[in-house]
Amino acid sequence: MKLLGLIFYALTGYATAADVALDVGHSRLSPGVISASGIPEWELNRLLALEVAANLDRIGVSYRMIGNDGNVEILTQRTALAQPDKLFISLHHDSVLPEWLSQADRYRGYSLFISRKNSTTDKSLACAQFIGHRLLAAGFQPSRYHATPIKGENRPFADQRHGIHYFDGLAVLRTARQPAVLIEAGVVVNAKDEAKVTSEEGRNQVAKAIALAVNDCLLKFRLD
């Protein structure tokens, strides 16, 4: 990983550290879920990342955008590009299992994931708790259905109140060298939840909560 990171720095000039890497989940070729209104998840992730970035600008937190051109296909390239940064946040929007799609309106809310295979699991959990706290304060609720004990889900809780799950197999969380959290902003195969988190007002509320939580996390690291 270290050698791969050095190669990317040489090719891209990304050696300068940022406070946070904002990873735009998925890509143009692998766009993720298609929302209830027909929008590819990658585009929703990109728009959320831009809004988070705008909020970070306002509070003076530096960031690196990864995957916002839609061309990063290899997941470990994302964490290699983020190697010098203090925090890694991967931005996504959620779906449900294929057999649940006919009842997608039953599922709503955000989910947060961390990995026990990340080298800084405790700090990842602390950052996820800040994010969950800020989202709850903004009026959003965790989905919690990812803990359902069935094949394809069964993601144990790290913190049920804040909607945080362990998902050890996620490559970007496992291979990040810094604290890392993956955010599913809402269940966008549910038309109502899509509108709640991707409308102009809703996206700004989600982004503001994430940006403030990132700042909370960075301040905690400086004090520890």
The domain that contains 88 carries what CATH number?
3.40.630.40
Number of independent structural domains in the chain: 1
Q: What is the pLDDT of residue 224?
A: 64
- Of residues 85 and 5, which shows the higher confidence score? 85
Residue whose C-alpha is closest to residue 164's, from 188, 180, 177: 180
Containing domain of residue 208, as a range? 2-223
Residue 61 pLDDT > 70? yes
Contact 43, 31 (CB under 8 A): yes
Task: Report pLDDT digits (tens) over 102-149.
Answer: 999 999 999 999 999 999 999 999 999 999 999 999 999 999 999 999
Residue whose C-alpha is closest to residue 68's, from 22, 35, 112: 22
Q: What is the pLDDT of residue 70?
A: 96
Burial group, residue 63, by CB count within 10 angstroms (0-12, 13-18, 19+): buried
Residue 6 pLDDT > 50? no
d(CA 210, CA 191): 22
Q: How confident is the model at residue 3 (pLDDT cuts 50, 70, 90)?
A: very low
Task: Report pLDDT digits (tens) over 7-40.
Answer: 444 444 456 899 999 999 999 999 999 999 999 9
